[in-house]
Chain A
Amino acid sequence: MFDVEKIRGDFPILSKKVYGNPLVYLDNAATSQKPRQVIDSLVDYYENYNANVHRGVHTLSMEATDRFEEAREKVARFINAESSDLVMWTRNASESLNLIAYSWGEDNVHEGDEILLTPMEHHSNLVPWQELARRKNAVIKFIPMLENGTLNMGEVDDLITERTVLVSAVHMSNALGTINPVRELGEKAHRQGAKILVDGAQSVPHMPTNVQELDCDFLVFSGHKMLGPTGIGALYVKQDILNTMEPFLTGGEMVLEVSYQEASWADLPMRFEAGTPNIADSIGLGSAVDYLNNLGMENVRKHEKDLISYALNRFQEAGLEGMDLFGPDDPEIRGGVFSFNTVDVHPHDMGTFLDRMGIAVRTGHHCAMPLIRSLGVAATVRASFYLYNTEREVDILVDGVTEALRYFRDGSE
């Protein structure tokens, strides 16, 4: 049973007031809020079994190791990985992407090879490939985008050539909400012998994820966007690819045997986890996964699909003049991201005005500068929903935007 009011009770921050108004938190694509259960799991670790993991023979170290590896198991099951050995901890999706660009990219991308991206990539799934292409003299190509913010899939077959080594695509756009057909992209990539990377930073927190069904070679995501702490993310790589990858960082924890001259590498997944890992936050992410599983990811997705439909309808009803909405109209292929621009009122002024009403939205380019520019604007206002948002909050947003337009356009209240 998906009971939003009950869910809201688990999130201490949601009872906060901003400028005397109840907080309406609509910046979930940037980071999510944390339930009491996740916060408690962090306190529990530090108060009751804080110790370094692996190799320790004392009680606390063994307990910390068990809980740390149990969290990895939870995350692996959450994305239906074949084994928890294929899931590596990183700081966030960005670090996961950089790890792939170095550990896999250095050995597998050569001069003249092609990397195919979408035009709606977050900078984190764009810049590492630009840098790799620069080092290797490789070529980056982009799948064209249609007016409605979806990919022009008809052109993909022509774009994937025998030189294509990687197709890397965001599963859900953080700026438009578009849900991309990554499984289909993967099929097309595999047909030409290319790998498929799925950036799940926005999708893993909001809908069921099954790496075996997606048949993706790489999946990256961040913990803090899915109720978990900041500073913890994960990377999934298919076994046969992972076996061939060189370590990203070297040092402690990731070695099997070390002499003064050389070292051999530890087994997976520790080979990719040099240094003391982020123990507390891994455990916190495990607890976030428990929370999400308890609600059911199908239910989370349905709730957000209902919210985006409601928001699209409410804004259409309001009939506000000079309001441009970005992203697909069809909630079936759209996550809970509501991105818009208003003629005459700059997104930053809108953001400041809404903040004074307690409404937290994001304004700017959303770390997707080339995409926002291609929309012909400098910035957009983005409201992004999560499992604790309500239709009532969408109503408050509609009222806020209406008031802001009146205030800035003609100065009347």
Chain B
Amino acid sequence: MWRYVLRRLLEMVPTTFGVLMLSFVLFYVVGGSPAATVLGQHASQRAIAAFDAANGYDLPLFCGNWYTVDALRKATDGSGTTELAFALGPGRYDLPGAARLTLREAKTGTVRHEVGRTEVTVPEGWTLTEADGATDVRRHTRHFFDSQFVRYLNGLIHLDLGMSLETKQPVTTVLAQGLLPTLSLSVPILLFGAGIGVVLGLLCAAFQGGLLDKGVLAVSTLLMSVNYVVWILLGQFLLGFKWPIFPIWGYESAYYLALPVLIGVVSALGFDVRFYRAAILDEVYRPYVRTAVSKGVSRGRVLFVHVLRNSLIPIVTYISLSIPYLFTGSLLLESFFGIPGLGCVSINAINSADMSVVRAVVIFGALIYQVVNLLTDIAYGWLDPRVRFAQ
């Protein structure tokens, strides 16, 4: 058993690495610096560079000794060359093409010129104020692996995912606050959905080809085809407004969750019932069922004891695949019913382009998926010796 668990843990490593890599590529390499969104369109070059430096967005992506600082602008004298847009702080710089470097001590105003060399180390308390004609401003990293990727991993390990732009809180706090409302909505949806779905699937399988089976199948195909957005709008309109049975907005008592849970269950029911029915029908024609029937076991007992037990494996797999989504929550349901969960947080973050929150929820969801997968596999190994001793 321990060998199995260990093997599964080792198998988890490449996928987790892939997930971290993929989210890094998406949010850092492709997404780039959020400076323009954060500071607004009219932010000065200096402010953007300062923001990038403060948050590490100008560092090399994976590793390297030098990185480029966006500190050049066209010279104001109209000569067509370049000059520094703002003074550079302490550090080691390389400015290829610069004719003369001017350093200034901030406190005393002492000025030092460096002619004929492009590499310079600005000491503490000094700034690099002029470097006319430079084609590039490159700064030396503190060490070879001082990169965005390493910082990103470091932040993840220390549960530091940055600050939310909207709420000005640490992202981890935002996530932690949203978790409970999300679970209070998604867990009932999962339980009711699975319960009703399995029962309907069993009934369909029991009367396969009959009127009930055909009816449920047709209705579930219809249910599947109604758009999720329409479910929510119609549910709110009919059950909250036309016949005001349920409250529409708020997170005050369990009753406020009734309508969103109902909509969540119904909208997923069509697909679920079809899956459960198929999973159960896969078992119905197995030889052991024929044996049980021919030795005189009652129809109900065969179905509910023998068949259900064996078809539980695909059913449990199917349900376990939806467990990670319990944590990230339902985007629309939460925002439409005013439930302050992670789905609502994500929607708000997406609407206000609050990338640090979006990023955090995506990474959080992906990591939860890994953990749940691992736990499911361990549970399989524990329940089913065939899995444990395979290979």
Chains A and B bind each other:
no
Instruction: Please report B residues at the A interface, Cβ cutoff 8 Å.
Output: none
Instruction: Please report A residues at the B interface, Cβ cutoff 8 Å.
Output: none
